[in-house]
Amino acid sequence: MITRLIMAAAIGLFFTPAALVCAQEHPEHPKKGAEHPKKGAAEKQVSTADISAGIKSNIETETKKGSDGKFHVKHEGQDLALDLIRVHDDRLSDLGGGKYFACVDMKGTDGKTYDIDFFLTGQPGKMKVTETSVHKIDGKPLYNWKEENGKWHKVSAS
């Protein structure tokens, strides 16, 4: 619950300026934000290449943990065993506040294609996944993004 609130707040803060410009639109995934200035001299700016490397590293690490060589995600009480197809490098986003978004396509042992959303934190070379969720199964979305009072949150696609 706390993770959902933090994610909703981060997404809400990210989309507030965009909501004022185009309130009638809503994204399929969180979008890239404006560049954020560095807070300290020691803090590094995270690039989309860093986010991509972080998500690939996480998937590789988690895949090695399992005896079946698959990446595992829990969805509706099921353990999905998945293989990476591709990272959507065009959808990598800096959500601000040290939070990042990545989206990947994965193939399940059941033959279905899963679009998995990842939320990350951290610095280049030290990215950590904080949340994963199944966004689509065989191209059919399970949730969408909706703006209410300047804040974006997930809503059921049904």
Q: Record the tokens describing residue 157, joined without a space.
A: 């696609």
Give which of 62, 136, 143 is closest to 103, Cα–Cα.
136
| pTM for the full predicted model | 0.70
Report which of residues 13 and 97 the model is more confident about. Answer: 97
pLDDT computed for residue 32 by the predictor: 47
Per DSSP, the three-state class of 81 is: strand
CA torsion 17→143→29→116, rounded to 10°?
150
pLDDT tens by residue, 31-58: 544 333 344 434 568 888 989 999 999 9
pLDDT of residue 24: 33
- Average pLDDT score, the chain: 78
